[in-house]
Structure 1
Amino acid sequence: MSAGSFYYSLCFQSLFLFCITLILLVPFASFTATIITRNSVQNERDEVALTAFKSKIVYDPQGVLSSWNESRHFCEWEGIKCGRRHRRVTVVHLTSKGLSGSLSPYLGNLSFLRKLILYNNSIQGEIPREFGRLFRLKSLSLFNNSFIGEIPANLSHCSRLKILSIGHNKLVGKIPPEFVSLHKLKELGLHRNNLTGGIPHILGNLTSLEVISISYNAFGGNIPDSLGRLRKLWFLSLSANNLMGTVPPSLYNLSLLSTFSVSQNQLHGVLPSNLGLTLPNLQSFLISFNLFSGSIPISLSNASKVELVDMSVNYLSGKLSIDFGGMQHLVKVMVHTNNLGSGEIDEMKFINSLANCSNLGTLSIAANRIRGVLPNSIANLSTKLQYLELAENQLYGSISPVIGNLVSLNILDMFKNQFTGTIPIEIGKLQNLHVMSLGNNQLSGEIPVSLGNLSLLTKLNLQNNKLSGVIPSSLGNLKQLSLLNLSQNDLSGTIPEQIFNMPFLSISLNFAQNHLIGSIPSTIGSLKILSEFDVSDNNLSGKIPNEISLCSNLEYLYLEGNFFHGAIPQSLSPLRGIRQLDLSRNNLSGQIPKFLETLPLEKLNLSFNGFEGEVPMKGIFTNASAISIVGNDIKLCGGIAKLQLPKCLNNDPKKDKVSSLFKILIPTASVVLGLIMISSFIFCWLKKRGKEQVFESLLEKSLLKVSYEMLLKGTDGFSPTHFVGAGSIGSVYKGILDQNGAIIAVKVLNLQHQGASKSFMAECKALRNIRHRNIVKVITSCSSIDFQGNDFKAIVYEFMVNGSLENCSIGVKGTIGYAAPEYGLGNEISTNGDVYSFGILLLEIVTRKKPTDVMFKGDFNLHSFARMALLDRVMDIVDPMLINEEIVATNHRMRQALYDSREECLISMVRIGVACSVESPQDRMNISRVVHELQSVRKLLLQPTTGLNVQRRQ
């Protein structure tokens, strides 16, 4: 082939390849352009959805959404994550930010969204049905907000959903039956809502489920047997749901279960004998407050991973024969308030096996029928044991001195048994003891002086024993004591004055039914917060001390059955909280004082004394069934008809003459006095009116009238050089008034800010009437129109050259331990700093440990102390006096209900305190969230306990 032909052929082939390439590339380029255009549109769609979400948030205290603006791509906004390929939103994660508002339905357009996590906020409204379009969604976490309405059935379209956590809201209605299609669901969290309609059997079809947490609702009905098909389930919590019937046997065969909780329902039946064999992974077994009967299975001994066993408040019976030796992780054993006991003499033998449980912190077998002696092996229990509750059983014998080895004990409750012998002096070694109740036994001998060493003791109950001797003055060392009950013993001697030097004695001081002599020391007036004082049925004498009136919180005062004499002192009239007063069976005399009519008494007993004269007819005296005045001979008269007393007669002629004279003189004197008073009033009114007119005239003259133009000129057009600072609703400028050359501060309100107009009116109204040397003087105000036709409002103050408080706290701004860490670096005062201080204070209240305690050194402080306890031992650090209020319920079952409620509240308070006191200011819980959380705590604490009856002396 010639060179020309070859060249021609090569050109033709190149041209052919170019054409082919062009033909192929044109549609590809068109396709690529289409994809780019589509992605651009979808990206814009994501941005619109996020912007719509932001618009529905009305309160953002931490400013987390301030980054959501056009200055950066939406994938870089705080809390947002996008995919690498398509730059589409895949995660929205904004937890514990204090956000308030509602959720925009436009979030349903985030078609690539895999996780929507907004827990621990204050978001309200309904969960948008549009979320059903999020077909790629795997995790929806909205728990601990304020959502209302029903659970959207559309969520069943989210077929890839693995986690649905919407507990701790206000949702109502049923679990949608459409959820049967959520085959990939692993975690279902619906606890603490108002859901009803029973637990649907369709949950048994969701075989991927690992966690079911639906406690504290109102489902009702039975536990469906279909749940026994969930072979992957390891967490099951159905507590507090009004459930009835029995537990399906199939549930006891879920071998992966580690948490089994059905407490606070109405379930009945017996526990399977092979319980510990079929549930080998069990860690928490919670069936309290139900109707279970039968014996506790011995096979539970095989559950070697168990940490918490709570079978309290049921009808379990028989001998407690579990060998706890293999349960080395055991922390709590609570079987109180049952019918346990067989009558055998070795029923306390199980104590021996607990010696291997080195983590045991609570052992409660109270309110059963367990009989036997307290073995010496109790000394081998864990040194971590804090709660030992043996009350209301049939235990007998002496209390062994080895009990002094349990040095970590906070609560020692042996109330209402048959213990004999003396109180061992070794109890004085229990330096961490907060509550000791040995009442209603048969203990004898003297009260050990060593009890005065228990400096943390808040409650001491030794009532109804056979204790003798004097009350040891060393008890005055118990400065934390809030209750002291030594009643119904054989104590003698006088009441030591040291007893009245306990500043926290608030619940009760009870020495009734002993053989005490002498008078009530005047130092009783030191007990300013005492609620009940009972020294009835002793041999006390003297007069009722006037100092009792200083006990301003006193509600119950029982002095009956002594040898008190004299009149009822007038000084008792300030007792404005008194409800029950019993002064019967004494040697009191004189008239019944009129001030008793004004006190809020519910019961008054004055019987068997020497009172005389007229019985009052108002207040408590109008209710014949609430008072008792029998046994006062025949010297009383008058009163209401139901008392059937004779009328008060006046037979003294001299008194009749005096009475007649008074009938003449009193009206005459009244008229004269009235004329004098009226004349004085008119004179003073005229004089005052004249002064007020002069003052008002001067005030009108003193208030300058200023216009917008004058203020604009005086501040050089509100120039930045005159700018002083900014507040929450406006800005402050320094200026000069032309009229008098006065230097002023002008507060210009930002009327776009919500509530600014109201603030203007309120501030004007308040400052118009306030005069104080520490409050900046208001010169005048201005409500006008600016040169653009907009409303203008400003307040004009006298300018203070010293600046604001923020420019004055040199050094650390706050008390050591309570001040936020950033203040030590010179940071300005901030709301976050206040939140830190509040968190520390809250932790101090709950733990009773100051941030400056000697135990806190280096990086170990009160915050870290509480944070570490949050994992699983909050109640180990809580001040026991907060959870052991002396309450006697109709039975132990009711008492435990209140105890559990308080425990949950205290755990929540520690969590709030820790969240508020983290080191990083921006990570601290928002104060609005704090309020929301504390309101939830308060609601929980105030929940009524059915049948609870706090016992008071009637």
Structure 2
Amino acid sequence: MRFWFVLQQLALIIIIIASTTDALNNNETDHVSLLAMKSKILDPFGGGVLSSWNESSHFCNWEGVFCGKRHKRVTLIALSSLGLSGTLSPHVGNLTFLRRLWLDNNTFHGEIPNEIGGLYRLKVLVLRRNSFQGRIPASLSRCSNLMHLIIGYNNLVGTIPEEFSSLSMLKTIAVHHNNLTGGIPKCLGNITSLETLSTASNLFGGTIPNNLGKLKNLVFLGLGGNQISGMIPSSLYNLSNLNDLYLSFNDLHGSLPPYFGNMFPHLESLQLEFNNFTGQLPNSIGNLTKVGSLTFSKNEFSGKLTVDFSKLVNLVNFTIQDNNFLGKTFLINFNLSFNDFNFNLSFNDFNGELPLHGSFANSTAVSVYGNDKLCGGIPSLQLPRCPVKKLNRNFFFSSKRIYAIVGASILGILILISSLGFYLGKRKRESTTLELFPKESFVQVSYGELLNATDGFSSSNLIGAGSFGFVYRGVLDQFEDVAIKVFNLLNPGATRSFVAECKALKNIRHRNLVKIVTCCSSIDFQGNEFKALVYKLMMNGNLEKWLHPSQEFNRSEFNLFQRLRVAIDVASALDYLHYQCEPTVIHCDLKPSNILLDQQMVAHVGDFGLARLFHPEMGISHHSSSMGLMGTIGYAAPEYGLGSEMSISGDVYSYGILLLEMLTGKRPTDLMFVDGLNLRNFAGKVLKGNAVEIVMDPVILKSDIVIGQRDNCLIAMVKIGLACSKELPQNRMSMTDVSRELQLIKDVMFK
């Protein structure tokens, strides 16, 4: 028996030694593969970016390299936007634990190596904005866990491999702006997990495959900028989850069916310009209540525009130039009260008198060239004057002349009374404004000064848009660079928002709150009421642009330390509003777009248009906004949806969600949050495993501290975010505690 026991112990020792040797060999494989990759990369900074890729430290500590805790194998390579060039070494295929590869926004060239198909754990491949050539490797079909393939803006040729139909977990195919040819592969219709399909700006021909209608999870379909012909297949109207449909710059034809607008309840952008579509726009377009952009330019649409636009409250872009629309009915039915951003009716056959209000009051927002039968409008549109109707000469001699004279007299009296009321109302409004912003505290500015400061509220100076108005960059002599928030007073809540913001900001001062310069409450040159607030301009825009940058916004970096500083700034501002103001200020709409960053990246909380004032003896002030449900979906506290009063706990909840968004890079409304998954329980995974797994933005991971400290910092901040966003208001942290805890993290982690 003793012999067998000794034999078992020897076998166990051999297994342990073999496992250790295997792990060391595997680690050495990663080490050698990374060095082979480095040998093919040209570093413009003379080795500065990849200078850490040497023998002096373990490869898990190299710049842009991240490893799993258990096996110390490479799981993530993040080398985005570093100006790197060269080629991608085939040795990348030996990094078999690799889950995410980010090389975007560099100048890599050559072919994507076939060996990349050996990365069977790979989930995310991002190679966009490089100069890769050759074909998309069919070997990628062996990456059975692949979820996101993002290789747009390269020089790739060929087509999308048919083998991709086996990638059952694929959510994103983004191959736009390449030189791909052939037809849109039918195999794509078999990848039912797809949420984003972007093949735009290639050389694809043929027709739209009918089986794309099976992609029920699709939220973005971008086929524009190709050579696709034929009609839109009826199966596409099954894609009820679409947010964006981009079919522009093709050779599509046919008409839109009457039910078109009823099939896409979530559509936010519809782009059909530069095709050969015909017929009328269906009235159901008016049911696209979430749409922000409708572009139908350069087609053959015709007939009267009878769509009821009154429900399209999010519309900021409507372009129908170069079609055959006619009539003037749309001038009556079109509700222009909601936005005045981009409205292009040029080169159609519209007729009648152009209104003076809404979008038509801004010559930089509206274009009506090439409609020779239009008249009137504001002078800057340079349309002919409308003909004056001639009065019937027999009027004064008719049997009803006495009634007309009496009617005219009554009308004159009513006009006199209205004028007096307007004058008194104007005096009252001016008095209210002076009460909100006393002359001795704020320099008064006129409508004309603000008009000149923004080049006539030009769209080139537009830097933001919200529910109640638009924000323009401007230059005022006495203040230099400013941000001017112009309220859209045709929106019923805009005036209340203006008053709420004035009341909230007139007596508060804090380094992390926006600085209000002055306000303007007057009338414009057409006699319409005008209200605006003027702030100090924040040179680095809002936090939304840094967390979710567009292609036009090139951020240098926004790492974990910078995000921690912003989190501290916002917490400090809320602590001041909640506990150091008299009366207490409840913000009610805390979200990234309302956090502004100055030139030193110091955060300032802004947009107090929904703010409430709280007096302990009186409760919530009724002089503040009364807009119903406060806040924005995803950030508003859950108790608000049940009718609870606004409270500082609601602000704390919004802050918690904001903090988790800053750490994960995911919005609370992201489409990945379905079937019970939300931002809170997604971020909560950090408490059970690898902190890096919740980070969807590799820029977050760039910092000067060691990986262990970085992960501890992430975990500590996530805990605060979770504590702030608890379901029950009484269980949430106070902003005083949040501010203190975050400052402690900064002092300990970033000495």
TM-score, normalized by length of structure 1? 0.43
Output one character per residue of 1:472-503: Cα deviation in whole Å (capped at 9) or x when no partner.
Answer: xxxxxxxx9xxxxxxxxxxxxxxxxxxxxxxx
For the 8 Å contact 1:866–1:914, the answer to whether it is kept is no
Q: Structure 1 117/19 Cα, relative in aligned 2: closer, same or farther at 3 Å?
A: same
Instruction: Summarize the alignment of residues 42-53 of structure 1 with structure 2, pairs less than 5 Å apart.
Output: 42-53=26-37
Instruction: Summarize the alignment of residues 420-459 of structure 1 with structure 2, pairs less than 5 Å apart.
Output: none
Distance in 1 (CA, whole Å) between partners of 2:144 and 2:72 is 23
Residues 1:224 and 2:209 aligned together = yes
Q: Structure 1 21/245 Cα, relative in aligned 2: closer, same or farther at 3 Å?
A: same
Counterpart residue type for residue 389 of structure 1: S
Instruction: Summarize the alignment of residues 435-834 of structure 1 with structure 2, pairs less than 5 Å apart.
Output: none
Aligned counterpart, 1:864: 540
Instruction: Summarize the alignment of residues 313-332 of structure 1 with structure 2, pairs less than 5 Å apart.
Output: 313-332=298-317
Instruction: Summarize the alignment of residues 292-371 of structure 1 with structure 2, pairs less than 5 Å apart.
Output: 292-341=277-326, 343=327, 346-351=329-334, 353-355=335-337, 357=338, 359-371=339-351
Distance in 2 (CA, whole Å) between partners of 1:142 and 1:369 is 47
Aligned counterpart, 1:387: 365
Q: Structure 1 326/866 Cα, relative in aligned 2: closer, same or farther at 3 Å?
A: same
- Give the match's secondary structure for 2:60: helix
Select 2:553's aligned residue among 905, 911, 915.
Answer: 911
Residues 1:142 and 2:120 aligned together = no
Counterpart residue type for residue 69 of structure 2: R
Counterpart residue type for residue 480 of structure 2: D
Residues 1:182 and 2:163 aligned together = no
Distance in 1 (CA, whole Å) between partners of 2:360 and 2:28 is 63
Select 2:19's aligned residue among 35, 38, 43.
Answer: 35
Give, in angstroms, the shift of residue 419 of structure 1.
4.8
Output one character per residue of 1:819-839: Cα deviation in whole Å (capped at 9) or x when no partner.
Answer: xxxxxxxxxxxxxxxxxxxxx
Output one character per residue of 1:790-822: Cα deviation in whole Å (capped at 9) or x when no partner.
Answer: xxxxxxxxxxxxxxxxxxxxxxxxxxxxxxxxx
Q: Structure 1 60/25 Cα, relative in aligned 2: closer, same or farther at 3 Å?
A: farther
Select 2:155's aligned residue among 167, 170, 173.
Answer: 170
Residues 1:260 and 2:242 aligned together = no
Give, in angstroms, the shift of residue 354 of structure 1.
2.7
Output one character per residue of 1:671-726: Cα deviation in whole Å (capped at 9) or x when no partner.
Answer: xxxxxxxxxxxxxxxxxxxxxxxxxxxxxxxxxxxxxxxxxxxxxxxxxxxxxxxx
Distance in 2 (CA, whole Å) between partners of 1:869 and 1:379 is 32
Give, in angstroms, the shift of residue 454 of structure 1.
7.5
For the 8 Å contact 1:138–1:161, the answer to whether it is kept is yes
Give, in angstroms, the shift of residue 396 of structure 1.
4.0
Q: Structure 1 247/391 Cα, relative in aligned 2: closer, same or farther at 3 Å?
A: same
Distance in 2 (CA, whole Å) between partners of 1:150 and 1:211 is 21
Distance in 1 (CA, whole Å) between partners of 2:110 and 2:278 is 44
Q: Which runs of 5+ in 1 are unaligned?
A: 1-15, 405-411, 422-449, 460-479, 481-845, 875-906, 925-954
Q: CA RMSD in A?
A: 3.6
Output one character per residue of 1:361-420: Cα deviation in whole Å (capped at 9) or x when no partner.
Answer: 111111111122223xx4245999951112221444433xxx59xxxxxxx6456x6756
Q: Give the fraction of aligned pairs with identical amino acids, expressed as a percent.
A: 39
Q: Structure 1 871/362 Cα, relative in aligned 2: closer, same or farther at 3 Å?
A: farther
Q: Which runs of 5+ in 2 are unaligned?
A: 389-446, 459-471, 484-513, 516-534, 559-597, 602-698, 701-751
Residues 1:122 and 2:107 aligned together = yes
For the 8 Å contact 1:312–1:338, the answer to whether it is kept is yes
- Give the match's secondary structure for 1:354: coil
Aligned counterpart, 1:854: 481
Distance in 1 (CA, whole Å) between partners of 2:40 and 2:213 is 43
Aligned counterpart, 1:372: 352
Output one character per residue of 1:526-557: Cα deviation in whole Å (capped at 9) or x when no partner.
Answer: xxxxxxxxxxxxxxxxxxxxxxxxxxxxxxxx
Distance in 2 (CA, whole Å) between partners of 1:848 and 1:124 is 43
Give, in angstroms, the shift of residue 32 of structure 1.
1.4
Counterpart residue type for residue 109 of structure 2: Q
For the 8 Å contact 2:135–2:158, the answer to whether it is kept is yes
Aligned counterpart, 1:272: 257
Distance in 2 (CA, whole Å) between partners of 1:228 and 1:222 is 13
Structure with greater contact order relative to length (CA < 8 Å, sep ≥ 6): 2
Output one character per residue of 1:762-811: Cα deviation in whole Å (capped at 9) or x when no partner.
Answer: xxxxxxxxxxxxxxxxxxxxxxxxxxxxxxxxxxxxxxxxxxxxxxxxxx
Q: Structure 1 347/41 Cα, relative in aligned 2: closer, same or farther at 3 Å?
A: closer
Aligned counterpart, 1:81: 66
Output one character per residue of 1:240-264: Cα deviation in whole Å (capped at 9) or x when no partner.
Answer: 1011111111112200001000001
For the 8 Å contact 1:58–1:100, the answer to whether it is kept is yes
Length, aligned pairs only: 441
Distance in 2 (CA, whole Å) between partners of 1:66 and 1:180 is 41
Give, in angstroms, the shift of residue 64 of structure 1.
2.2
- Give the match's secondary structure for 1:324: coil
Distance in 2 (CA, whole Å) between partners of 1:384 and 1:295 is 27
Q: Structure 1 387/95 Cα, relative in aligned 2: closer, same or farther at 3 Å?
A: same
Counterpart residue type for residue 911 of structure 1: F
Distance in 2 (CA, whole Å) between partners of 1:383 and 1:26 is 89
For the 8 Å contact 1:391–1:414, the answer to whether it is kept is no
- Give the match's secondary structure for 1:327: coil
Give, in angstroms, the shift of residue 849 of structure 1.
7.0
For the 8 Å contact 1:392–1:414, the answer to whether it is kept is no
Distance in 1 (CA, whole Å) between partners of 2:103 and 2:43 is 14
Q: Structure 1 860/71 Cα, relative in aligned 2: closer, same or farther at 3 Å?
A: farther
Q: Structure 1 287/66 Cα, relative in aligned 2: closer, same or farther at 3 Å?
A: same
Counterpart residue type for residue 379 of structure 1: H
Give, in angstroms, the shift of residue 915 of structure 1.
7.7
TM-score, normalized by length of structure 2? 0.54
Q: Structure 1 912/90 Cα, relative in aligned 2: closer, same or farther at 3 Å?
A: closer
Distance in 1 (CA, whole Å) between partners of 2:146 and 2:106 is 22
- Give the match's secondary structure for 1:24: helix
For the 8 Å contact 2:151–2:175, the answer to whether it is kept is yes
- Give the match's secondary structure for 1:172: coil
Distance in 2 (CA, whole Å) between partners of 1:918 and 1:50 is 38
Give, in angstroms, the shift of residue 360 of structure 1.
3.9
Distance in 2 (CA, whole Å) between partners of 1:386 and 1:911 is 24
Aligned counterpart, 1:243: 228
For the 8 Å contact 1:394–1:418, the answer to whether it is kept is no
For the 8 Å contact 2:248–2:272, the answer to whether it is kept is yes
For the 8 Å contact 2:481–2:536, the answer to whether it is kept is no
Distance in 1 (CA, whole Å) between partners of 2:473 and 2:250 is 32
Distance in 2 (CA, whole Å) between partners of 1:40 and 1:372 is 81
Q: Structure 1 77/914 Cα, relative in aligned 2: closer, same or farther at 3 Å?
A: closer
Distance in 2 (CA, whole Å) between partners of 1:70 and 1:860 is 50
Distance in 2 (CA, whole Å) between partners of 1:168 and 1:862 is 32
Counterpart residue type for residue 336 of structure 2: L
Aligned counterpart, 2:177: 192
- Give the match's secondary structure for 2:140: helix
Counterpart residue type for residue 354 of structure 1: L
Q: Structure 1 143/246 Cα, relative in aligned 2: closer, same or farther at 3 Å?
A: same
Aligned counterpart, 2:38: 54
Residues 1:25 and 2:3 aligned together = no
Output one character per residue of 1:199-236: Cα deviation in whole Å (capped at 9) or x when no partner.
Answer: 11111011111001110111111111111111110100
Q: Structure 1 279/918 Cα, relative in aligned 2: closer, same or farther at 3 Å?
A: same
Distance in 1 (CA, whole Å) between partners of 2:450 and 2:28 is 73
